[in-house]
Amino acid sequence: MGSALYNLSQSANIYPASELFLRHRLQVVEELWEAVLRQECGQKMVDLLRELRALCSPEGQATNDQAASAVKLIEQLNINEAIRAARAFALYFQLINIIEQEYEQRQQLSRYEMETESTSQETLPNIIYSSNQREDDAPVNRGLVADLLTNNWVEKAQFKQKGTFAALFPHLFKLNVPPQQIQRLISQLDVRLVFTAHPTEIVRHTIRDKQRQVVKLLQQLDGLEHRSGSTGGYPWEVADLREQLLEEIRLWWRTDELHQFKPSVLDEVDYALHYFQEVLFDGIPQLYKRFKYSLASTFPWLEPPSKNFCSFGSWVGADRDGNPSVTPEITWQTACYQRKMVLERYIRSVKQLIELLSISMHWSDVLPDLLESLELEQSQLSEVYDALALRYRQEPYRLKLAYVQKRLENTRDRNLALYKRETPQNEDSPMYRSGAEFLAELRLIQRNLTETGLSCRELENLICQVEIFGFDLTHLDIRQESSRHADTLNEILEYLQVLPQPYNELSEEQRVAWLTGELQTRRPLIPAELPFSDKTNDVIETFRIVRSLQQEFGINICHTYIISMCREVSDVLEVLLLAKEARLFDPAIAVGTIQVVPLFETVEDLQRSRSVMRQLFELPLYRALLAGGYTAINSSNETLPSSPLTPNLQEVMLGYSDSNKDSGFLSSNWEIHKAQKSLQQIAEEYNLNLRIFHGRGGSVGRGGGPAYEAILAQPGHSINGRIKITEQGEVLASKYSLVDLALYHMETITTAVIQASLLRTGFDDIEPWNEIMEELAARSRQHYRALIYEQPDFIDFFHQVTPIEEISQLQISSRPARRPSGKKDLSSLRAIPWVFSWTQTRFLLPSWYGVGTALQEFLNVEPEEHLKLLRYFYIKWPFFKMVISKAEMTLAKVDIQMAQHYVQELSKPEDIQRFEKVFEQIANEFYLTRNLVLKITDHSQLLDGDPILQRSVQLRNGTIVPLGFIQVSLLKRLRQSMNSNAISGVIHSRYSKGELLRGALLTINGIAAGMRNTG
């Protein structure tokens, strides 16, 4: 069985030594996997799994003959055997994922160390600056030798891995990018990564804990085997570790993979914050150090960015779009929970510093400001002084930190009372009201150490953490759907009898006129006591809780309000009016503490976004709000204090999921690309800065894919050092489970932002290219919609052929799979289960359908010339290359034969004929798209240009095939058992619906793990 694993393309051996390590580690895991199954299920099950795997082709595709043989085998299994087989394959994929993640982390760490070493040796002694030349001007080289040395230095830089700081700055130097431009960009660098609770994380956190334990044991095994190979070592230690791994995997096998209950919102908060606890809190200071070190190696005269150039946000506990479980009280508890977590980490760090900073006044000077601080603390925290003054009488740093620890503990205790909605008993005790107060204390200690010739790395790390996380940990973004605000105002105005007709019956022009007028007055509109419906009260209370959060935590905890399905100017003004009622916006001076962010999602909304934003920018009230108030907009004094928000910054969010579901992959990407260009142009017209918030999912169909290439493909000036990106579902597990993987991910995003901002290609502005792309997008959209929305059999096909109904029963999210309408149509179905269903069946349709027809129709006009042009686009135009590369990656995961098996087995007998026609249409488009992508990329096989990804896909494809057969078998039995007209006496009917559903859900888990993707 193991031999099938290692029959990989020789082209994948980019790093021969590391490939040997990977293959060895895969072999170890396969042996452990078989050993566990042998002990838990017996040799018969191991033989069955081997037989099922052997039925797959070397390419991992299911052929008709193999399908028939596999189906025959699987149909003979009873339900328990089928479930065990499904669980075995799911376990296999999880183990493979662990190995690949550890391998990727090992590679990143190894390459980074090599790059750092080479960078430290690459000095620039021959680059000089004339005495009258500013440091921010381009460097001057001296002499032929200098040129040769610099060229050699640049050649070395070319071998550095893309996406790292060590590769970026030498590249900028080579291209003579003016250091002044680099400094300006670095100074305003703003990378924001927002964790969301979208239901695509299918793996239980109990299982994640066991996976981490396996990773730790494998890392220990690495160390032992390395030591054993070099020094002779102790073979018994290796054997003991393998035994521990076997025990851990057996415990894992006996743990239920399925969520036992539907997670609450606070469960989801805990899941998301887990990554901060385990990885990011300690890892993020290293990102700043990497940046600072790499910058100094090439541009030693430039200043590094602020420590929080890369910050985090969260929707978990704050995103109420379609989730009635996210209440104002839940949002309050989420903020308190975040502060609890970060305070506990700070307390732990301060305790470590107390152990570390044992400096005695006998042997080191102490500056007066620290002594004065200690005298003040003695009167305020006398109990600490009485307990520790004698012990620390000659150790001022320890005494000071003991006071700091007590203040933190008091802050934590007060926060716990607020979480429980109790009155704090220690309100008068000395504590920190903000992270800034705590930071000032740490800097006092650091300054004293520095001025006496000392430094402390642990203290520097803690300062960095406080600058990044404060007492908030993450910024909470509120999100709500636009119609909820309109309905809220409609009910309020009906109650008050303010308008002659219902608000919802007003035209857009009438709404804007009334809202603009109402926003000019401070007169309250909403009574203190709320005599409205629960839905209206919830919206009103949401704004009030934002006000409470800002009063307790500060503005930074929550000042972004996102309007999903934003279509009109009135959608924005409605939120502003409700914010005014909660005293988040003062209309008299046009100063607010809330940033309203429109989210344009469908293709029509993306196309309308420019018009909506222009109308908003034309409104004096809105323009003044962005500027920081009427005083700020009318003043030429740049130092005039203004709003607590960043002045003249407009954030706009673009949605990938709904635009894709609406018009297909190619059209969606092009409409988003165009929207960014037009939004940036209009922002520049009004002298505003723009921050694009990309609502990317994990899958290609929802905007996912390699972030580095995606950012470089953004148009023109649309980044300018600022970007905001959602990190969703399984992306968190794949990118943030290990420290070095997380660091590399954040580093690639940051380097891409800098590179895209400073090195613009200009290809996005070539009008003939844009016209061709517009034509391709229109053709792709037309073909996509002809299937999805105009093919009369498609909805029935989708519901029968995919496991959409079973996916809806997975307990993986607090949010429903469908929007509140309750209809079983595509408009009510959320984008995540839509993509999830197609991934399970190996169609992956949302990520490529329509691309082939659009390309073919373009090629039909001038076959040879247009193919040359498309190949040129692929080489030169980052946007086009990104689109084709994403399609190629998805096509490599498609198994059209397996997809056909779902159609043949899951279609009702009376529907099979019409469904076969739908399948034939999809299959023809797949083959057409695959062939054209290969022509454009000039590849013999899909992913020839990315052998590492190619290896990863091939590694999984073969084993997913038998798991797909098992899933189809279980789905078929389940649906037969649920059909009241099922023929009595059929052998499968002896199984309960619960057993069959459980088996089907387990296969969904397994395929999601194998595809490394859900929705």
Q: What amino acid positions are annotated as catalytic residues?
A: 198, 661
Q: Give the single-character DSSP code of 818.
A: B
* Tokens linked to 772: 């061709």
Cα pseudo-dihedral 974, 979, 981, 984, rounded to 10: 30
Tokens 């975040």 identify what position? 338
Q: Which residues of 837-849 are buried (b: 16+ CB within 10 A; e: fewer)?
A: bbbbbbbbbbbbb
Given a contact cutoff of 8 angstroms between Cβ atoms, the answer to whether 248 and 213 are in contact is yes
Q: Checking DSSP bridges between strand 591-592 and strand 585-586, what pairing results, if any?
A: antiparallel
Tokens 């907009």 identify what position? 633
Beta-bridge mates of residue 560: 477, 595
Strands (E), 630-780: 649-655, 689-695, 722-728
User: Which H or E run contains 755?
Assistant: helix 739-758
- The C-alpha atoms of residue 578 and residue 666 are separated, in whole angstroms, by 38
Beta-bridge mates of residue 819: none
Read out DSSP for 83-143? HHHHHHHHHHHHHHHHHHHHHHHHHHHHHHHHHHHHHHH---TTEE--TT--TTSPPEE-H
Beta-bridge mates of residue 818: 829
- The C-alpha atoms of residue 844 and residue 830 are separated, in whole angstroms, by 16
Residues in the chain: 1015
Q: Determine what percent of the chain falls in helix, strand and coil, rounding each to the nearest 5.
A: 65, 5, 30
* Tokens linked to 849: 């359908």
- The C-alpha atoms of residue 701 and residue 195 are separated, in whole angstroms, by 19
- The C-alpha atoms of residue 428 and residue 380 are separated, in whole angstroms, by 11
Given a contact cutoff of 8 angstroms between Cβ atoms, the answer to whether 326 and 484 are in contact is no
Of the candidates 196, 194, 422, 421, the one whose C-alpha atom is nearest the C-alpha of residue 329 is: 421
> What is the residue type of 565?
M
- The C-alpha atoms of residue 301 and residue 68 are separated, in whole angstroms, by 69
